[in-house]
Chain A
């Protein structure tokens, strides 16, 4: 078995190791189980392309190697949806989970004033973590209206584990203002964010801060699944009961299948793992647990649906494509994302539309771009060196 992870260490975002701390207890037995001779782990690795059937081009640092496979499990996770508002490109404006990740990877936040904004349960988790590290959380601004957040909370009564998590977070965040129907309308500062102007209803005010941690829930990382040609529905990978995609031998688990959180992702991952190794009975043993956990998936989507008023926050001068510095006013006249891309380079930069794609989809209903290899930026050496046999390259030099 080959395990590829983009980061320098295993654990993803939720189980990202904490600098100077110990591993999340649940992660320890799983990591130990991977310590076997038939498991090869490559960190800092990304799939660049799928040059042939059942073959992937895997990039690490400056090199790339072709890897053949029989079965493939996609566990590509999600990223934060970030939406444009004036000043969102200023340094120290980050995603919500992003600032938490930076703190886990060694950024001291003791005494720093932080506004956490956007949408979703990640705001609470990020704020609680940052506060525990000594940050001063000025405010948590959740865009969803109060009634939807309450309805979600009321539904937790049936979900014992999630209820306990929610109560824990509430205790850790005691005294921190949590405002609903509230979002940033602009960030200001000289060279980095110094204050953020927030709006709740008709009320607008400024909060002084060192960081604005702002993410509007999650969008799935489906680029690899799309490149493979997996059937998609409403932006997510379609799977059967065994987490199998429409491509034989290819499975998907976690957020690419639907935003449902850690526990559901773990069960789906187990099912995909068993199914891909001919252990279908053991996979089926987990179906009931998956059914129970996935009830929450729809509830999350409903609760944190974006308010249409968020579309009015960006001004014509606001940058929408950060890679190419394309402004809202420049792309808004185009009818489709494709036209805008061809005329303005919106979405053609290094992130390949991963940041502005979900934003333009929300703002103007544009469909995300088609996927083309390499699906992450690669060097010419990575793309050519592996393809040229040694003998040939030797003859040329």
Chain B
């Protein structure tokens, strides 16, 4: 059975993933590991995958600092990496 898919954009580019995919998993699946830059300007990506570490935060539909591991992709969602640390 072919699973249902959702369409979103990642840094402006279209991305299609199976429904239920977390935003963190969707980003990693494109080969991107650098979700954001730390306060010192280092590349960072998911560490805990359970909402504790805040390393995987991205901008979702204009809202900054969203933990991408805790949010599922939905149709029309706009995700942007490379936010700066607060």
Q: Which residues of A contact B (CB under 8 A)?
A: 6-8, 13, 17, 19-20, 44, 46, 62, 79-80, 82, 89-95, 97-99, 101-103, 105-108, 191-192, 221, 319, 322-325, 349-351, 354-355, 377
Nearest neighbor of B46 in chain A, beta-carbon distance: A94
Partner of B33, one of A44, A101, A192, A377: A192
Question: Which positions 35-86 of chain B face chain A at CB distance < 8 Å?
Answer: 35, 38-40, 42-55, 57, 63, 65, 69-72, 85-86
Give the secondary structure class of A's interface: loop
Cβ contact within 8 Å between A325 and B40? yes
A102 and B24 in contact, given A92-B33, A93-B47, A354-B53 (Cβ under 8 angstroms): yes
In the complex, whether B26 has a CB less than 8 A from a CB of chain A is: yes
Do residues B38 and A108 form an inter-chain contact, with CB atoms below 8 A?
no
Closest chain A residue to B26, Cβ basis: A106
Whether A91 touches B34, Cβ cut-off 8 Å, given contacts A98-B48, A98-B50, is yes
Report B-chain residues with C-beta under 8 Å of the C-beta of A6: 50-51, 70
Contacts of B86 in A (CB 8 A): 350
A106: chain B residues at CB < 8 Å are 17-18, 20-22, 25-26, 29
In Å, the complex CA distance between A6 and B50 comes to 9
Given A106-B22, A325-B38, do A92 and B45 touch, yes or no (CB 8 Å)? yes
Q: What is the minimal beta-carbon distance from A94 to any residue of chain B, in angstroms?
A: 6
Residues of A within 8 A of B17 (CB): 106
CA A80 to CA B55, docked complex, whole Å: 14
Q: Which of B24, B35, B42, B65 contacts A105 (CB 8 A)?
A: B24
| Complex Cα spacing A100 to B85, Å | 26
Residues of chain B having any CB pair with chain A under 8 Å: 3, 17-18, 20-22, 24-26, 28-29, 33-35, 38-40, 42-55, 57, 63, 65, 69-72, 85-86
Given contacts A62-B63, A91-B43, A106-B17, contact A355 B51 (CB under 8 A): no
Asked if A79 contacts B20 (CB within 8 A), the reply is no
B3: nearest chain-A partner, CB-CB: A20
Q: Which of B43, B54, B71 contacts A90 (CB 8 A)?
A: B43
Given contacts A19-B20, A91-B33, contact A82 B25 (CB under 8 A): no
Q: Report B55 CB to chain A, min CB distance, Å.
A: 6
Cα distance A46–B50 in the bound complex, in angstroms: 12
Query: Are B49's CB and A91's CB within 8 A?
Result: no
**A19-B18 CB under 8 A given contacts A89-B44, A106-B29, A324-B39:** yes
Q: Tell me how far the C-beta of B16 lies from the nearest C-beta in chain A, rounded to whole angstroms.
A: 12
Name A19's closest neighbour in chain B (CB-CB): B20
